[in-house]
Structure 1
Amino acid sequence: MALLKVSFLQMSKRCLQQHGGVCWKLGSKLSVHTPPKMPPCDFTPERYESLPYNQILEIRKQNFSPQMSTYFQKPLLLHQGYMQWLFDYEGKRYLDLFSGIVTVSVGHCHPRVTTAAQNQFGRLWHTSPVFLHPAIHEYAEKLTALLPEPLKVVYFTNSGSEANDLAMMMARSHSQNVDIISFRGAYHGASPSTLGLTSVGAFKPRTTTGSNCQTTMCPDVFRGPWGGSQCRDSLVQTIRKCSCAPGCCEANSQYIEQFKNTLHTVVAKEIAGFFAEPIQGVNGVVQYPKGFLKEAFQLVRERGGVCIADEVQTGFGRLGTHFWGFQSHGVLPDIVTMAKGIANGFPMSAVVTTPEIAKSLTKSMNFFNTFSGNPIAGVIASAVLDAIKEDGLQENSQETGSYLLLKLAKLQNEFEIIGDVRGKGLMIGVEMVQDQESRQPLPLKEMNLIHEECKDMGLLLGRGGLFSQTFRIAPPMCITKEEADFAVEVFHSVLRRHMEKRAKEKF
């Protein structure tokens, strides 16, 4: 017994030395943690003078959809925002790493965008496409200039779902076929039609949704059946090993075979199209093997289909290396859909396609949208493009995003519950697991606790994945390295606490 006690103490001492005073497996006493210091912010929010918190909760309970869920045990009541910061009704400040679900691209209440909107509000709020106004025409020219030929015809809509609805109609009108393919784990909207494309169980209703939509295996190199250590276009690769020769990806070949199998078995000989997010967002920032989309696009076109890039979350410089996510795959889609960051949170979206496909749609239907000529939308979206360029936000996404990604990746060596760190630019996923060997999702209870504690320390993270097992990180693109350091310090501190509690309960 004495020998066992000495051995245990020796092991504990060694473990404490190796992990900076924290032993994850032997159940040491909880250490005293100093909370990370929040970086300064030169903005002071106004005093909150609106509805009391409890009254808002009651209104939500009585008048909102019961499916409208919120983060956290005590839902966060936000009051103001400034760039990468949010303030609640009590004046507490939070670093926003989720941007209102990957929507606030250039920063909350960005001064340039705010001023442009205020000026236009005093002139003219609304016309419609039956009249002309310079704002939306100027924006159409600026937007299409950022896309390669022949993607030069733009349709303005109001949401990502609506944009993808229209893209589905375009694909079917142009191809004269009906079957459309999307990935399992994809999220392309929640309208009756786009729910056929969306393949996340939590969003699937019991009633009939979009017809002739088929899903194919998502080429997920971390959680899928195949994956290796050099598969994806990221500074960080999976912990899975492979024996692939240089320039050859066995996982990619296997997933392409699955894609071919879908084409051979569940759709007609000729198809309408294929939808793909350059990086899956809702599914937890899932990246495909390098070269997959290029091969898949070719296979789709051989079947008469068109290729649609859903840039709702990946566009406008967020991935850093390119302005559009599809460019990082070396492909040229036939249709591009965009929303969210296009107008920094103002409800706007767009579909850009070729003149040829636009002509096909015109023959098929008379498309009209009351709000597609909106002056406010045009002014705000134009100011967003100016801010991205003048503030160097695409470059910052690359530099600060890479910095943050690599710092998060280092935590994998310390915490067994971090299974994968992935992404590009300022679109990052941290997938949590029970252990790295099994790659089984971390239980929801533990995810919720970690999520909640990060919030309590001033850090707001997103959630994603089929089991809500991935923390999604997509802050406003103005975030700095100092703030990235703070985010990693908070995450590290919360994980230390969590692992200490876990070890204590175990022993």
Structure 2
Amino acid sequence: MIERTSPEALREQHAAYVFANVATYYDEPLVLVRGEGATVWDADGRSYLDAFGGILTVLLGHAHPAVTERVKAQVERLVHTSTLYVNEPMVTLSARLAEVTPGALKRSFFTNSGTEANETALLVARLYTGREAVLALRHSYHGRSALTLSAGGQGAYKAGGSLPGVYHLASPYCYRCPFGLTYPACDLRCAKDAEEVILTAAGGEVAAFIAEPFQGVGGFITPPPEYFKEVVAIVRRYGGIFIADEVQTGWGRTGRYLWGIEHWDVVPEVMTSAKGMANGFPIGWTIATEEVAAAFTKATISTFGGNPVSTAAALAVLDVVKAENLPENAERVGEALQDGLRALQDLYPAIGDVRGKGLMVGVELVHGGKRPAPDLLRRWMEAARKRGLLIGKGGLYGNVARIAPPITIGRSEAEEIVRILKAAMEDVMPYWERDA
């Protein structure tokens, strides 16, 4: 019998031996030991409705039987090959992905994480165009390598500074428009400003524009419907290509479609994903058109990329998403969730904005005058945890609740999320401040 370490001892060891800047939630970090569906249990036996899914990663819920069975069968057969050899799950997955992705995307390269997927995408864009300049968005997050951190638009993550050749556009953040305008009277100023950035900062040419269809770490920022068509057209006019970062938004998460970018009717030359792709097993994925992929001529490998276990898990995810019509479920349940949260917005002035698509919903907390309220979010998260609900946080100011449960949940779980958040908000409102 395995002797288990107490939760208190584990927290002490975590504090002593893990990098001190590794983020954890809650005043007393949770020690999770088990998960099933949308529920997780901590080491003290308490259960929680998981409305964050390991940062939008447990797409189908914890220990989904279809994924578990596919993984168990693969582990018993073959665990590792590297990209130096061909393995069946990786090749089968590559073919399936070419069928279900937008436009002419065809050639896949597998890695271990969203960071590596985006690094690969930026590299191949520079090789294809022969140019250096990369455009990205403020408030964005694309990974934790030197280049992807440079592309990210979050100062809190800028460890070691930024590499040259990356330029940041204004984010399509309508709730806090950087130009002080209001959509649609703004005439998409945030998108049209891309041309001036290219002409001034980037020297008149560009390799790529990388963007999340809905910004994840940025606080589920949702652009105007016409935004991507406008900005991508500008980028292509100056010789660049478009990289859609679907690390958080893919696999039906945003409802109706398999991919978040499909909401905006734009087809990328390169697309990336990770997180929910394998329901928690480590994987990263870059897919490009035949022409773009052909520009990557130097030899390359990924020791763990295309791992047969992770790609088997991804195949199971694809099968379940399709068989159970989960993008439609995410749209239907997500609408109910947002309706419930907007009802709370009408009741509580601390809720400044509710936004998102499908089961990717952000709730921005503010004091009077739209002042960011990270203090209120910390209290809200703690109050929700005490009532059995786990949510995430994000936003440049750390004041946006990120609600992203497994896309398999039903209306009853969405109603439970709203019920708990309403009760938790009662604990928060005594700390809300009116305009100074």
Interval of TM-score (by shorter of Structure 1 and Structure 2)? over 0.9
**1:270 is the counterpart of 2:205:** yes
Conservation of the 8 A alpha-carbon contact between 1:252 and 1:290? no
Unaligned runs of 5+ in 2: none
Q: Which residue of 2 aligns with 1:172?
A: 126
How far, CA to CA, are the matches of 1:491 and 1:270 in structure 2? 47
Match of 1:103 in 2: 57
Q: Provide the residue aligned with 2:214 in structure 1.
A: 279
Shift >3 Å, 4+ stretches: 225-228, 501-504
1:219 corresponds to = 172
Q: Residue 5 of structure 2 corresponds to which residue in structure 1?
A: 51
- What is the root-mean-square deviation of aligned Cα atoms in Å? 1.8
Distance 2:161 2:337 in 1: 42
- Please list the CA deviations of residues 300-332 of structure 1 after superposition, one character each: whole Å capped at 9, or x if unmatched: 111111110000000001111211111110101
Q: CA deviation at 1:102?
A: 0.9
**AA aligned opposite 1:220:** Y
What secondary structure, in the 3-state scheme, does the structure 2 residue paired with 1:328 have?
A: helix
> Is residue 2:380 matched to residue 1:440?
no
String of CA shifts for 1:349-374, please: whole Å, max 9, x gaps: 10010110111112xx2221122232
Amino acid at match of 1:217: A
Q: In structure 2, which of residues 244, 257, 275 is the aligned counterpart of residue 340 of structure 1?
A: 275
Helix, strand or coil: the match of 2:194?
helix
TM-score, normalization by structure 1: 0.83
Give the SS at the match of 2:334. Answer: helix
How far 1:268 moved relative to its partner? 1.8
1:470 alignment partner AA: V
Q: Which residue of 2 aligns with 1:147?
A: 101
Residue 447 (structure 1) shift: 1.9
Aligned residue among 422, 427, 435 for 1:497: 427
Where does residue 146 of structure 2 map in the other structure? 192
Q: Is the 1:156–1:348 Cα contact (8 Å) retained in structure 2? A: yes
**Aligned residue in 1 for 2:361:** 428
Q: Partners in 2 of 1:371 and 1:308 — Cα distance? A: 23
8 A contact 1:226–1:254 mirrored in 2: no
TM-score by length of 2: 0.96
Aligned-partner SS, 1:361: coil
Residue 404 of structure 1 aligns with an amino acid whose one-letter code is L
Instruction: For residue 68 of structure 1, give the secondary structure of its aligned residue in structure 2.
Output: coil
The equivalent residue for 2:236 is 301
Alpha-carbon distance in 1 for matches of 2:157, 2:365: 22
2:336 paired residue number: 403
Select which of 320, 326, 341 maps to 2:255.
Answer: 320
**In structure 1, what residue type is equivalent to 2:380?**
I
Letter in 2 for 1:302: R
Distance 1:162 1:440 in 2: 36
Q: Distance in 2 between matches of 1:329 and 1:149?
A: 14
> 1:359 corresponds to which residue?
294
Take 1:148 and 1:425, find their aligned partners in 2: how far apart are those partners?
A: 19
Residue aligned with 1:142, SS: helix
Matched, 1:331 2:273: no
Give SS of 1:429's match. strand
Aligned equivalent of 1:65: 19
Native 8 Å contact 1:175 1:304 kept in 2: yes
Query: 1:416 deviation in Å?
Result: 0.6
Q: What CA deviation, in whole Å up to 9, does each residue of 1:71-105 have, x standing for no partner? A: 00111110100111111111111001101011111
Q: For residues 383 and 181 of structure 1, do their structure 2 counterparts lie closer, same or farther at Cα, with a shift above 3 Å needed?
A: same
Give the superposition deviation at 1:214. 0.9
SS at match of 1:422: strand
C-alpha distance in structure 1 between counterparts of 2:327 and 2:161, whole Å: 41
Which sections of structure 1, spanning at least 5 residues, go unmatched?
A: 1-46, 232-248
Could you tell me which residue of structure 2 aligns to residue 419 of structure 1? Answer: 352
Which deviates more from structure 2 when the two are superposed, residues 103-112 or residues 123-132? Answer: 123-132
Letter in 2 for 1:386: D
Aligned partner (choices 167, 185, 200) of residue 250 of structure 1: 185
Size of the alignment, in residue pairs?
433
* Alignment-mate amino acid for residue 272 of structure 1: A
CA contact (8 A) 1:165 1:194 kept: yes
Could you say what secondary structure the match of 1:312 adopts? Answer: coil
- The answer as to whether partners of 2:115 and 2:144 remain within 8 angstroms in 1 is yes
**Higher CA-based Rg:** 1
